[in-house]
Amino acid sequence: MGSSVSKHRAINTPQEAKRRRLPLRGFAHIDAMRAGAVMLVVFSHAGLTAVPGGSGVTIFFVISGFIITHLLLRELEKTNSFDIRGFYLRRALKIFPPLLVIVILPSLVYGLFKSLNWVDVAGQLLFFFNWVYVDSDVSVLPGTIVVWSLSIEEQFYLAVAFLWLLLVRGRRPVAGLRVLAWAIIVYSVLARAVLFFSGATSDRIYFGTDTRSEAIAMGILVALWFRTRRLRAHEATGARAVAARKDDLLGKDVVLWVALVLYLVSLIIRDDLFRETLRYSMQAVAAALVIMWGLVGAGGPMGRALNRFMKLQIVQLLGLASYSIYLVHLIVIRALEPVTAGLPEPITIVLGVVLGTGAGVLVWWGVEEPVVKWRQRKKAKSAAATTALNPKG
């Protein structure tokens, strides 16, 4: 990522990645955030109801918004265009292999012996399950209800991809994307308030695409900020250098403290109006601040300690496997219930966490990673062919 990526990232070089026996990825602090988010969900579903698993989903939304937008902006810089077919292909290769292995194929087998609502199952495959699940009355493979959040992400990206295709044909696509992101945030907050005062259920607000897209749009704004920072770092002279140094304040410990306070306050306040409206906003802002902090670099004692924790191999592994863990953990927990029914609660929780997480890591290793490596080989062959046809570059 050049000079714009902090030297404090958990994995910087192929040599370091090889020592850690983990595949090289883009932003290690974001993988650590994924690890934290997915474990919040896993512990909550395993029986620790005091753990705010729902906040983990919000963190995932912000991360997804950032990553996807960052990739779109880098593509714009390189090609001054948008390959929508390539976008959908990359999303399909990321989403569908684990989804088919963990949710769809097991649902087909399960449906041979138990009654399922195939409209609900279709919602999981075609990404409208969150709207089906609004009344929490669904009949699907036990443990696969977590797909609701994936549905929101994919609905969002289907819409944004078409809008981005239009924006890149205009004169100021980046400015247009910024306006779009702010419009989504404002609309999402207002939608939650209107629904609350009109008597809508908590589930309608929690599972609605319109009410939860704010966090994804927050990630878009972070990606736009990061693009500006990278450009300033590339042209770091005069006033631009001063602006870049001001951005470095985001790497200080105070940013982590602000994010932590926002997150804790979002959990402590139990007022219904707050929980159905501003709770989501505060958690999204907290996640966005941590992403920005990591992009600038750890600049204080707390940050350096946190960065060392993020370098732990187990943290990176959980982050890389977070998607598969998220999809499979509740299936495992539900399958264990007949076996653990008479056991003490702590043992039940430990078994659910360990086996649910372990199953996710195995799926990541056996399904996600082969697809990633296949894509890397294909990309390398394509680059080699291009070089052969145009050796002078």
pLDDT band, very low/low/confident/very high, at 54 (cuts 50, 70, 90): very high
Interval 169-200: pLDDT, tens? 999 999 999 999 999 999 999 999 999 999 99
Q: Model's pTM, two decimal places? A: 0.90
Distance CA 217, CA 68 (A): 11
pLDDT band, very low/low/confident/very high, at 5 (cuts 50, 70, 90): very low
CB 151 within 8 A of CB 128: yes
> For residue 11, is pLDDT > 90?
no
CB 14 within 8 A of CB 24: yes
Average pLDDT for residues 193-209, to the nearest whole number? 97
| pLDDT value of residue 235 | 67
| pLDDT value of residue 13 | 40
CB 257 within 8 A of CB 275: no
| pLDDT value of residue 244 | 53
Interval 76-88: pLDDT, tens? 999 999 999 999 9
Which three-class secondary structure state does DSSP give residue 297?
coil
Q: Which amino acid is at 281?
A: S
| pLDDT value of residue 16 | 44
Average pLDDT for residues 357-378, to the nearest whole number? 94
Who wins on pLDDT, 1 or 362? 362
Question: Percent of the chain scored above 70 by pLDDT?
Answer: 88
In angstroms, how far is the first alpha carbon of the chain from the final one?
Answer: 21
Distance CA 135, CA 85 (A): 35
Interval 229-278: pLDDT, tens? 888 877 655 555 555 555 578 889 999 999 999 999 999 999 999 999 99
| Overall residue count recorded for the chain in this entry | 393
Average pLDDT for residues 55-64, to the nearest whole number? 98
| pLDDT value of residue 17 | 44
Average pLDDT for residues 344-367, to the nearest whole number? 97
Count of CB atoms within 10 A of residue 261's CB?
A: 12
Average pLDDT for residues 341-346, to the nearest whole number? 93
| pLDDT value of residue 7 | 36
pLDDT band, very low/low/confident/very high, at 39 (cuts 50, 70, 90): very high
| pLDDT value of residue 10 | 40
Alpha helices in 83-146 (DSSP H): 84-99, 105-110, 118-126, 129-132
Tokens describing residue 142: 């036990």
Average pLDDT, rounded, for the chain: 89
- What distance separates the 2 farthest-apart alpha carbons in the chain? 71
